[in-house]
Structure 1
Amino acid sequence: MFESVAPIVPVRDLDAALARYRRLGFATRAYDGPQRYGFVDRDSVSLHLTEWAGHDPLTTAASVYLYVTDADAVHASWRSEVEGRLGDPQDTPWGLREFAYVDPDGTLHRVGSPLT
């Protein structure tokens, strides 16, 4: 039985990335060890962050899809908090209300909720 998943996202600066996710409403913590690694959690969503000196947002970026109950509410709460590019919510032909956010590390976050 699969119970959960936690994508590992490359970042250039772990401390900056943890602060960014904290502003977006995630609980954050750095790994207590020699590796530059961190954890971000919000409700049942978990992401792991790995600081990678060779990370290039143009060639080694990641993508995650976050299913939420209300994409418009998440968008409104993120609007003043994000660094990077934040798209407007749109209704999709596949039955979701969604928007895209690309952070300074190049990670694409697609955020969507079911259309009612």
Structure 2
Amino acid sequence: MDDVHVHASPVLPVADLDRALAHYAALGFSTSRHDDTYGFAAWAGLELHLAVVPGHDPLRTASAVFLHVPDADAVAALLVATGVGRTTSPVDTSYGMREGAHVDPDGNLLRFGSPLASGS
């Protein structure tokens, strides 16, 4: 199976597809819709699927995705500059990563991180 290439496209629950698509477009994602209940947001090789879930409650049904990025600080700066959603500044972790996070209007968490430089 060494020649198998796997690509994941996380499906995030949303209450309002128009709001979700607008949020991800404001972040710089390319967005499109399949229909009134399903859409897509793509950025830098990442493709998120956005699915309307009736009765979506972010406290019970939100999702989390971890993004491996080359520079967590650069990603955080890009997200903060958009002025949408909630983005936390990256911090160094005890397990050798520098990680930050972004939460969309539906409570979905996009964690992002990059390896700490050697000797950090």
After TM superposition, the score normalised by the length of structure 2 is 0.86
- 1:23 matched to 2:18? The reply is no
Residue in structure 2 matched with residue 40 of structure 1 by the alignment: 41
Secondary structure at 2:82 match in 1? coil
Secondary structure at 2:62 match in 1? coil
Residue in structure 2 matched with residue 61 of structure 1 by the alignment: 62
| Conservation of the 8 A alpha-carbon contact between 2:63 and 2:108 | yes
* Separation in 2, partners of 1:18, 1:52: 15
RMSD: 1.4
Secondary structure at 1:59 match in 2? helix
Residue in structure 2 matched with residue 70 of structure 1 by the alignment: 71
Give the counterpart letter for 1:98 in structure 2.
Answer: E
* Separation in 2, partners of 1:60, 1:82: 25
Structure with greater Cα Rg: 2
* Separation in 2, partners of 1:39, 1:105: 15
| Conservation of the 8 A alpha-carbon contact between 1:83 and 1:104 | no
Give the counterpart letter for 1:51 in structure 2.
Answer: V
- What are the equivalent positions in structure 2 for 1:84-103 lying under 5 Å apart? 84-103=85-104
Percent pairwise identity: 49
Give the counterpart letter for 1:6 in structure 2.
Answer: S
| Conservation of the 8 A alpha-carbon contact between 1:20 and 1:82 | no
- 1:9 matched to 2:12? The reply is yes
Aligned residues: 114
Residue in structure 2 matched with residue 104 of structure 1 by the alignment: 105
Structure 1 consecutive aligned stretches of length 4 or more whose deviation exceeds 3 Å? none
Cα 1:96–1:107 shift into 2, 3 Å: same
* Separation in 2, partners of 1:37, 1:82: 25
The Cα of 1:2 is off from its aligned counterpart by 4.1
Secondary structure at 1:5 match in 2? coil
